[in-house]
Structure formats: structure tokens, C-alpha cells
Structure 1
Amino acid sequence: MHPALSLSTLRIGEFATISGLDAQNELYLRLTAMGLRIGKQVQLLRSAAFSGPLHVRVGTTDIMLRKTEAARVQVTAVIPAGASIAS
């Protein structure tokens, strides 16, 4: 069993699967509208310095998220950077 992680704890290049959204209705709707839905695979592409936003990819869509918002996105099944992904 993988420990509970959030999108904000991923390392650059890592992939994970969204397992939950811990957000109130308004933020939940905003995150899902951007494509962050349970079961979707995400990848952390970049992390800005000084607690700046995170650049993540969901499918073919790139999104910039505040770290506080990314902390609300629960993920599992982290695949290390450089590992191949079976489709």
C-alpha cells in the first residue's frame, strides 16, 4: 500500500494518479474543470522557487497551481522520473 501523498509532494518529473480532492465545493469545481479528476494521471513538470506555483500536466493539458491548491489533490502510485509508462 502506498502512503497518502499530495500533488505538492511530488518531485519534478514524477507521475502519479489522482486518488482524491480534499477541497470545498468552489475549489473542487475549479480543479475538476481544469481536468484534475480522480483516476487521471498527473506529472509534476516544474516547481517555482520561493513557494511559487507548480507546473503540472494532466493528459495533454499543462496547468499552473498554487502549492496550497496542489496540497488538496491527493495522489497515489507515484512512478519515478525516467520510468516508462505502459498505456
Structure 2
Amino acid sequence: QQAAIDRARSDLAAARSDAAFAHAEVAHYQPLAASGAESREKLSQLRNQARQADAQVAAANAALTSATRRVGTLQAQVRQAQA
């Protein structure tokens, strides 16, 4: 079960990294779109990608919480069985 927690932590770290990159892309393209050097459509696509990346962070965080609770429940059951 510890492997599930480790995997969830890894997934969360990857999701956070993807989200940070997506937000950096938005920040980079905002002035370009404002000046007309890039299309507003491209900026809109990047904003959507950033929102999707944020959703992945939330999902990965929920998966980590769930895995941690599952392990805690199993450990409590083991302690109870040993008592």
C-alpha cells in the first residue's frame, strides 16, 4: 500500500509541474496576444490547458489523500486485529 502512496505523490508532483509550465506559457503569451503578435485564440487555448492542468493537480491531490486514508484504515485494522 505504501507503493500506492508513493505513486500518488509522484503523480501529484508531475501534475504540479505540468500546471506550473502551463501557467508560465499563459504568462508568456498574454503580452504577445495583447500586442497582436500572437492570436487571442492561442492564448485562449493555453488558458484552457492551464485550467485542465489545475484540474489534474486537484485530481492527483485527491488520489493522494485517498491512498493515505486507505493505508491509515488498513493500519488501524491491523492494530485492532492484533489487540
Larger Rg: 2
TM-score norm. by structure 2 comes to: 0.23
TM-score norm. by structure 1 comes to: 0.22
